[in-house]
Amino acid sequence: MDLASYADLAVDLVNTQRPDGDTLRSLDGLHELLAGHPHLGGRISHRDLDAMRGLRGQLRAVFVSAAGGDEEDAIDRLNTLLIQHPVHPQVSGHDGQRWHLHINEGGSVPDRFAARAAMGLAVTIADRGLERLGVCAADGCGRVFFDTTANRSRRYCSAHCARRGAPSAAAAQRRPARTPVTARAQPRAGG
Ligand SMILES: [Zn+2]
Cα 77 from chain centre: 13
Query: Does residue 115 belong to any structural domain of this protein?
Result: yes
Expressed in angstroms and rounded, the spacing between residue 94 Cα and the centre of ligand 1 is 39
Query: Does residue 185 belong to any structural domain of this protein?
Result: no
Look at residues 119, 139, 121 and name the one whose alpha carbon lies nearest to residue 129: 121
| Mean pLDDT across 26-36 | 95
pLDDT of residue 16: 96
| pLDDT over 90 at 172, yes or no | no
For the stretch 42-77, pLDDT in tens is 899 999 999 999 999 999 999 999 999 999 999 999
Instruction: Kindly indicate the confidence band of residue 174, based on its pLDDT and cuts at 50, 70 and 90.
Output: low
Expressed in angstroms and rounded, the spacing between residue 116 Cα and the centre of ligand 1 is 24
Expressed in angstroms and rounded, the spacing between residue 168 Cα and the centre of ligand 1 is 14
Expressed in angstroms and rounded, the spacing between residue 189 Cα and the centre of ligand 1 is 36
Query: Does residue 182 belong to any structural domain of this protein?
Result: no
Are the C-beta atoms of 66 and 131 separated by less than 8 Å?
Answer: yes
The C-alpha torsion from 183 through 139 and 11 to 13, rounded to 10°, is: 150
Query: Does residue 91 belong to any structural domain of this protein?
Result: yes
Number of domains observed in the structure of the chain: 1
> Per residue in 112-129, is it b (16+ CB within 10 Å) or e — as a string?
bbbbbbbbbbbbbbeebe
Owning domain of residue 91:
3-170
How many angstroms separate the first and last alpha carbons of the chain?
50
Expressed in angstroms and rounded, the spacing between residue 144 Cα and the centre of ligand 1 is 8
CATH number at residue 120: 1.10.3300.10
Expressed in angstroms and rounded, the spacing between residue 44 Cα and the centre of ligand 1 is 30
Say which DSSP state 99 is in: S
Expressed in angstroms and rounded, the spacing between residue 125 Cα and the centre of ligand 1 is 22
Look at residues 20, 28, 100, 14 and name the one whose alpha carbon lies nearest to residue 58: 14
Of 60-74, 86-100, 105-119, the one with minimum mean pLDDT is 86-100
Expressed in angstroms and rounded, the spacing between residue 177 Cα and the centre of ligand 1 is 29
Query: Does residue 122 belong to any structural domain of this protein?
Result: yes
